[in-house]
């Protein structure tokens, strides 16, 4: 309370409108320290009462004849804490008072009557007593305001915390419940609500617990606290926390209960979820170690698989690079072999001419020496062509047990007693597509290499089985696999990928040509398979030859057909088309010596012109020529002369290109001798004379 308001509420109002009574009273009270305010009439008096005052001194005569309705209304409108004190100055009377003044005084519950004359001391004590009474009212007002504010704060706190309050008088069975309390039971504020409704709302499974707790609190006059489920009118179940206090009466019997309710459904559900999460976490912790071990094992397996796949990919890439390298080297060696065969053909052919024309035995002996050296060179080129897959193989469906049995007989005598031989070839092996002689030669070469790798003896294993293609280097399918294994010294890892290279050898100078393994590789690739090698130092080496199996519907191989007969060919005309001048000249000279009429051309274009001009009985063409190769020349020649017999002479030929012109073409392999040339020509011309079709892609001569 501010000083100004306190000053107003503690002042004394004086209403004595007649004479100087008001001024005298004011002066007397001021001397005693009181603050007075003189009111001139009833209107001002009422206004000042509204403004505030501690008490009022009213002269009786001020009430006589006045309109006291306003004052009566003000008295009725006082706050419950207010009972305004009046000091009424009355004149002494012998009888009872009558009139409005008496009625007003009867309405005043807090009035002090002073009969005049009044001395100053009595007046001061009366004023002081009235002010003390008013101050006690002010104190009650202050306490009431504080209580009201406290109740408001409590109400706000209860609302903020969603706490519902209730009070139950056990004598009258009356329940007072707040709106939130009703809401906690699912009841609207306007609906009636009793303690019986509280008991009825408790879940049947929790009623026994609720009754026991409440009865124990009533018996002891103590507090209680419980959590229970309640069923709302809509049938939904909620959790409530109910706290209360039981108060006993003077006789010790239960008299009163009050308490709070709180909807804890959300907390209970959250706790349930938390407990479930904790249980799940506990289970997870219990199984975490085992799951980590399982996952670690899975990762280890995946890592092992990945490492194996990486290793397999690296091996496949190395094999692919090796295959690409061998392909490139094969093309190079094939070209070299072609040129080398042309040179050998010139040498060997002219040696034959010298041997045929010379009469000096010494010259014939020298020619024989040259022929042997040339034949060795021809064998070397044959090996190069086998490696480069440019030598024609006689691919047939062969019995692998038969091939290996023949090799076994040869090896038993050549390997010596220090090496034991182990053959394993099932008798029911399906037939494989291969050149019988070349495969036998390849196995013999591998066996000889194995013997060299086992200088102190060991075991040579030759096996055959059927496997599925792997590594992506062969078309999918099943293949026959011939493997030759030894228990020798093995091969250094850094040179293992070089062993199939032509002319690569680890043997001493003069001990090997370096073409053995490369020839094996070429035979396998030309047969439609592949060659593989696996070696480990100190444990030996295994070489595998993968061969395609015989197709189920493979046609039976066609046997070579001998010429049906012979006729005089002295008048036959032969056209020779060869780009190499020396080879062409040898062929022309040889054919003329044999008695044929010969014309020649240096390339395919010139050969077509000579074909129209000369109308020959036989065409002999080199395969590998610039501009137009022999296959293209044969195709164009047959377009003009379908019945013209043709001999293709080559030391290098493209199998796919020859496939386009097979049927009436014969193959004469370089280097060839004079006798082989004569036989080939007679064979071709004899077939023409009898109207027979020449055998398809028949090799009329082979290198020695």
Q: Write down the pLDDT at residue 186.
A: 92
Q: Write down the pLDDT at residue 675.
A: 79
What average pLDDT does range 96-101 have in this prediction? Answer: 54
Is residue 242 pLDDT above 60, yes or no? yes
DSSP designation for 502: T
pLDDT band, residue 691 (cuts 50/70/90): very low
How many angstroms separate the CA atoms of 42 and 613, rounded?
A: 163
Residue (of 335, 337, 334, 363) closest to 350 by Cα position: 363
pLDDT above 70 covers a percentage of the chain that reads: 80
Beta strands in 396-508, from DSSP E residues, in sequence order:
396-398, 419-424, 432-434, 458-468, 478-486
Residue 263 CA, chain-centre distance (Å), reads 47
How many angstroms separate the CA atoms of 703 and 389, rounded?
A: 16
Residue (of 333, 380, 382) closest to 501 by Cα position: 333
Per residue in 161-175, pLDDT tens? 678 888 999 888 899
Strands 111-116 and 86-91: parallel
User: Are residues 397 and 525 located together in one domain of the fold?
Assistant: yes
pLDDT band, residue 117 (cuts 50/70/90): confident
User: Are residues 521 and 456 located together in one domain of the fold?
Assistant: yes
- For residue 309, being part of any structural domain is answered with no
Q: Which of 81-85, 638-642, 648-652, 687-691 has the lowest mean pLDDT?
A: 687-691
Q: Write down the pLDDT at residue 695.
A: 37
Residue (of 201, 199, 200) closest to 213 by Cα position: 199
On whether the CB atoms of residues 590 and 632 are closer than 8 A, the answer is no
Residues with Cβ within 8 Å of residue 620, at least 6 apart in sequence: 574, 575, 576, 577, 578, 587, 646, 647, 649, 668, 681
Per residue in 2-15, pLDDT tens? 666 777 888 999 99
User: Are residues 538 and 492 located together in one domain of the fold?
Assistant: yes
Is residue 566 pLDDT above 70, yes or no? no
On whether the CB atoms of residues 461 and 416 are closer than 8 A, the answer is no
Q: Write down the pLDDT at residue 327.
A: 64
Helix (H, G, I), strand (E, B) or coil at 472: coil
How many angstroms separate the CA atoms of 21 and 14, rounded?
A: 9
pTM over 0.85: no
Please report which helix (H) or strand (E) contains residue 392, including its range: none
Please name every residue paired with 597 in a beta bridge, in sequence order, or none if there are none: 573
* End-to-end Cα separation, the chain, in angstroms: 140
Residue 150 CA, chain-centre distance (Å), reads 65
Helix (H, G, I), strand (E, B) or coil at 167: strand
Q: In the structure encoding, which two tokens stand for residue 406, read together?
A: 């023949």
User: Are residues 180 and 62 located together in one domain of the fold?
Assistant: no
377-to-340, 349, 675, 704 alpha-carbon distances in Å: 9, 14, 19, 10
Q: Write down the pLDDT at residue 703.
A: 36
Among 235, 263, 291, the domain-final residue is 263
Q: Which of 407-416, 418-427, 505-514 has the lowest mean pLDDT?
A: 505-514
pLDDT band, residue 554 (cuts 50/70/90): very low
pLDDT band, residue 697 (cuts 50/70/90): very low
Q: Write down the pLDDT at residue 335.
A: 63
pLDDT band, residue 311 (cuts 50/70/90): confident
What average pLDDT does range 224-232 have in this prediction? Answer: 92
Q: Which of 245-254, 425-434, 595-604 has the lowest mean pLDDT?
A: 245-254
**Domain residues for 492?**
392-548
Among 101, 125, 156, the domain-final residue is 156
Residues with Cβ within 8 Å of residue 283, at least 6 apart in sequence: none
- For residue 487, being part of any structural domain is answered with yes
pLDDT band, residue 576 (cuts 50/70/90): very high
Q: In the structure encoding, which two tokens stand for residue 652, read together?
A: 């290098």
Residue whose tokens read 């104190």: 139
Per residue in 338-367, pLDDT tens? 666 777 777 877 877 787 777 777 777 777
For residues 521, 526, 528 and 531, what is the CA-based torsion angle, rounded to 10 degrees?
A: 0
User: Are residues 121 and 225 located together in one domain of the fold?
Assistant: no
Q: In the structure encoding, which two tokens stand for residue 558, read together?
A: 């066609």
- For residue 295, being part of any structural domain is answered with no
Burial class (CB in 10 A: 0-12, 13-18, 19+), 328: exposed
Q: Write down the pLDDT at residue 570.
A: 55
User: Are residues 71 and 151 located together in one domain of the fold?
Assistant: yes
Residue whose tokens read 């034991």: 420
Q: Write down the pLDDT at residue 532.
A: 87
> Which CATH number do you get for residue 403?
3.30.565.10
User: Are residues 535 and 582 located together in one domain of the fold?
Assistant: no
Per residue in 596-640, pLDDT tens? 999 999 999 999 999 999 999 999 998 888 888 888 898 899 998
Among 216, 232, 263, the domain-final residue is 263
pLDDT band, residue 337 (cuts 50/70/90): low
On whether the CB atoms of residues 668 and 339 are closer than 8 A, the answer is no
What average pLDDT does range 660-666 have in this prediction? Answer: 55
pLDDT above 90 covers a percentage of the chain that reads: 20
How many angstroms separate the CA atoms of 394 and 644, rounded?
A: 25
Q: Report the number of distinct structural domains present in the chain.
A: 4
User: Are residues 132 and 179 located together in one domain of the fold?
Assistant: no
Residue whose tokens read 């390339």: 603
How many angstroms separate the CA atoms of 93 and 112, rounded?
A: 16
Is residue 406 pLDDT above 70, yes or no? yes
Beta strands in 487-567, from DSSP E residues, in sequence order:
530-536, 540-548
- For residue 272, being part of any structural domain is answered with no
> Which CATH number do you get for residue 257?
3.30.450.20
Q: Write down the pLDDT at residue 325.
A: 66
Greatest alpha-carbon pair distance for the chain in Å reads 205
- For residue 245, being part of any structural domain is answered with yes
For residues 35, 41, 42 and 43, what is the CA-based torsion angle, rounded to 10 degrees?
A: -100
User: Are residues 601 and 633 located together in one domain of the fold?
Assistant: yes
Mean pLDDT of the chain: 80
Residue 566, CB-side half-sphere exposure with 13 Å CA sphere: 8
Q: Write down the pLDDT at residue 83.
A: 87
How many angstroms separate the CA atoms of 484 and 424, rounded?
A: 11
How many angstroms separate the CA atoms of 104 and 100, rounded?
A: 6
What average pLDDT does range 584-590 have in this prediction? Answer: 89
Which bin fits 471, alpha (ψ -120 to 50), beta or left (φ > 0)?
A: left
User: Are residues 170 and 150 located together in one domain of the fold?
Assistant: no
Interior/surface letters 329-339, b for 16+ CB within 10 angstroms, e for the rest: bbeebbebbbe
- For residue 213, being part of any structural domain is answered with yes
User: Are residues 95 and 230 located together in one domain of the fold?
Assistant: no
Burial class (CB in 10 A: 0-12, 13-18, 19+), 111: middle
Helix (H, G, I), strand (E, B) or coil at 256: strand
User: Are residues 459 and 586 located together in one domain of the fold?
Assistant: no
Per residue in 192-208, pLDDT tens? 999 999 999 999 999 99
Residue bearing the bigger pLDDT, 379 or 477 = 477
Q: In the structure encoding, which two tokens stand for residue 563, read together?
A: 């010429």
Beta strands in 564-630, from DSSP E residues, in sequence order:
573-577, 597-601, 618-622
Is residue 659 pLDDT above 70, yes or no? no
- For residue 286, being part of any structural domain is answered with no
Q: Where are the alpha helices (DSSP H) in 415-513?
A: 436-453
How many angstroms separate the CA atoms of 636 and 641, rounded?
A: 9
On whether the CB atoms of residues 90 and 105 are closer than 8 A, the answer is no
Helix (H, G, I), strand (E, B) or coil at 71: helix
- For residue 594, being part of any structural domain is answered with yes
> Which CATH number do you get for residue 47?
3.40.50.2300
Residue bearing the bigger pLDDT, 262 or 98 = 262
Per residue in 39-78, pLDDT tens? 999 889 989 999 999 999 998 888 877 777 888 888 888 8
Q: Write down the pLDDT at residue 700.
A: 42
What average pLDDT does range 271-289 have in this prediction? Answer: 83
């Amino acid at each position: 309370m501010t000083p100004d308001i306190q000053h107003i509420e503690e002042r004394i109002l004086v209403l004595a409108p007649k004479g100087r009574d008001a001024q005298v009273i004011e002066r007397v009270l001021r001397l005693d320290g009181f603050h007075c305010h003189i009111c001139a009439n009833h209107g001002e008096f009422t206004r000042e009462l509204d403004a505030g005052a501690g008490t009022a001194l009213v002269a009786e005569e001020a009430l006589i004849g006045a309109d006291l309705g306003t004052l009566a209304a003000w008295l009725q409108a006082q706050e419950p804490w207010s009972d305004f004190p009046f000091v009424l100055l009355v004149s002494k009377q012998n009888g009872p008072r009558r009139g409005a003044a008496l009625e007003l005084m009867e309405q005043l519950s807090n009035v002090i009557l002073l009969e005049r004359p009044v001395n100053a001391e009595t007046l001061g004590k009366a004023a002081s007593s009235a002010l003390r009474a008013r101050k006690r009212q002010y104190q009650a007002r202050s306490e009431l305001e504080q209580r009201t504010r406290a109740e408001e704060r409590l109400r706000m706190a209860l609302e903020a915390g969603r706490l519902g309050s209730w009070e139950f008088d056990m004598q009258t069975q009356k329940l007072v419940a707040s709106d939130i309390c009703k809401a906690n039971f699912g009841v609207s504020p306007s609906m009636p609500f009793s303690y019986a409704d509280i008991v009825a709302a408790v879940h049947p499974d929790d009623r026994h617990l609720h009754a026991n707790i409440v009865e124990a609190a009533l018996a002891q006059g103590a507090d209680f606290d419980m959590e229970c489920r309640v069923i709302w009118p809509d049938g939904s179940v909620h959790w409530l926390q109910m706290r209360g206090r039981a108060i006993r009466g003077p006789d010790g019997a239960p008299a009163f209960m009050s308490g709070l309710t709180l909807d804890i459904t959300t907390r209970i559900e959250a706790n349930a979820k938390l407990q479930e999460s904790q249980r799940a976490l506990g289970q997870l912790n219990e199984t975490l170690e085992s799951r980590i071990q399982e996952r670690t094992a899975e990762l280890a397996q995946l890592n092992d698989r990945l490492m194996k796949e990486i290793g397999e990919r690296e091996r496949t890439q190395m094999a692919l690079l090796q295959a690409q390298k061998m392909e490139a080297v094969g093309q190079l060696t094939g070209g070299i072999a072609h040129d080398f065969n042309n040179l050998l053909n010139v040498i060997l052919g002219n040696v034959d001419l010298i041997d045929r024309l010379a009469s000096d035995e010494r010259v014939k002996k020298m020619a024989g020496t040259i022929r042997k050296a040339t034949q060795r060179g021809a064998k070397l080129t044959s090996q190069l062509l086998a490696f480069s897959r440019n030598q024609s193989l006689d691919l047939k469906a062969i019995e692998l047990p038969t091939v290996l049995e023949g090799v076994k007989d040869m090896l038993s005598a050549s390997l010596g007693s220090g090496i034991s031989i182990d053959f394993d070839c099932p008798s029911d092996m399906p037939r494989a597509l291969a050149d019988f002689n070349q495969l036998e030669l390849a196995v013999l070469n591998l066996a000889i290499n194995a013997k060299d790798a086992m200088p102190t003896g060991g075991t040579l294993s030759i096996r055959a089985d059927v496997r599925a293609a792997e590594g992506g280097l062969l078309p999918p399918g099943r293949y026959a696999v011939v493997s030759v294994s030894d228990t020798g010294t093995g091969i250094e890892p850094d040179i293992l990928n070089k062993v199939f290279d032509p002319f690569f050898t680890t043997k001493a100078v003069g001990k090997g040509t370096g073409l053995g393994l490369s020839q094996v590789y070429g035979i396998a690739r030309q047969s439609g398979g592949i060659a593989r090698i696996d070696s480990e130092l100190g444990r030996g080496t295994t070489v595998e030859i993968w061969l395609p199996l015989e197709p189920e519907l493979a046609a039976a191989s066609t046997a070579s057909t001998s010429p049906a007969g012979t006729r005089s060919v002295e008048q036959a005309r032969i056209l020779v088309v060869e780009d190499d001048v020396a080879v062409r000249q040898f062929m022309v000279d040889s054919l003329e010596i044999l008695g044929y009429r010969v014309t020649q051309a240096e390339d395919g274009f010139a050969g077509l012109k000579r074909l129209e001009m000369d109308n020959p009985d036989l065409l002999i063409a080199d395969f590998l020529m610039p501009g137009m190769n022999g296959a293209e020349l044969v195709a164009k020649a047959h377009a003009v002369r379908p019945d013209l017999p043709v001999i293709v002479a080559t030391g290098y030929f493209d199998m796919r290109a020859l496939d386009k012109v097979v049927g009436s073409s014969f193959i004469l392999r370089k280097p060839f001798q004079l006798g082989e040339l004569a036989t080939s020509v007679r064979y071709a011309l004899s077939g023409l004379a009898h109207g027979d079709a020449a055998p398809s892609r028949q090799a009329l001569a082979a290198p020695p």
